[in-house]
Homo-oligomer: A and B are copies of this chain.
Amino acid sequence: MTIISNKIDEIFLLPTTEKALFLSRFERVEVQKGAVVINAEKIERYVYFIEKGIARAFRETDKGQTTIWFGEAGGVMLSFLSFFKNKPGYESIEVLEDSTLYRISSNHLQELYSLHLPIANWGRKFAEQELLLTEQRFMDLQFKTATERYQDLIKHSPSILQRVQLGHIASYLGITQVSLSRIRAAAK
């Protein structure tokens, strides 16, 4: 559980008591490659932290699936819409390898938020951090070319490139697989 514990500290450092309380609400889950942990059709009742493995969020479209997020160890898997608003989310999330996750239920987390100031601030920091990441994604899509986005991915997440098939990467970058092949061919 070290990786997840570190991830929690990284978001916002909790006093010992609250940290222990927080961790006590987690539950370990082992899932096999291909398991769909979060389902776009449902209101999800858990937030998952990745201890080991790799995950991929995607939306179903008329032309198959589009990947919108990749997560590795230390990443947090959740549907914002489900967790924040109790609505079915946009996306499903599956693991691409056998993975170890720790999960906490929305109910537990909401209760902790409402009773403990440090944990409320942890939740605030978590949302702020995710907001900055989402803003960054938005800016990249708006201001960078597909080629630049691909080069950024090589630079900042080389392990994803190695572990995930290119069709998923293409849709993550907002282009078709054919287009990604062209970009890769041009880069040689």
Contact = CB atoms under 8 A, between A and B. Distances in A.
A61 interface: yes
Nearest to A139: B90
Contacts of A132: 80-81, 84-85
A21 interface: no
Nearest to A137: B138
Contact of A124 (B90, B123, B143, B174): B123
A135 B121 CA distance: 22
Contacts of A80: 128, 131-132, 135
Nearest to A84: B128
Contacts of A142: 66, 68, 141, 174
Contacts of A123: 121, 124
A141 B143 contact: no
Interface stretch (A37-45, A94-102, A112-120, A153-161): A112-120
A134 interface: yes
6 contacts: A80-B135, A84-B129, A85-B132, A130-B131, A137-B138, A141-B142
Interface of A: 59, 61, 66, 68, 80-81, 84-85, 90, 113-114, 116-117, 120-121, 123-124, 127-132, 134-135, 137-139, 141-143, 174
Query: Across chains A and B, which 7 residue pairs bring their CB atoms closest together, nearest first?
Result: A127-B127, A124-B124, A120-B120, A131-B131, A84-B128, A138-B138, A127-B128
A127 B121 contact: no
A137 B137 CA distance: 10
A80, A90, A128, most chain B CB atoms within 10 A = A128
A120 B116 CA distance: 10
A142 B174 CA distance: 6
Contacts of A137: 138
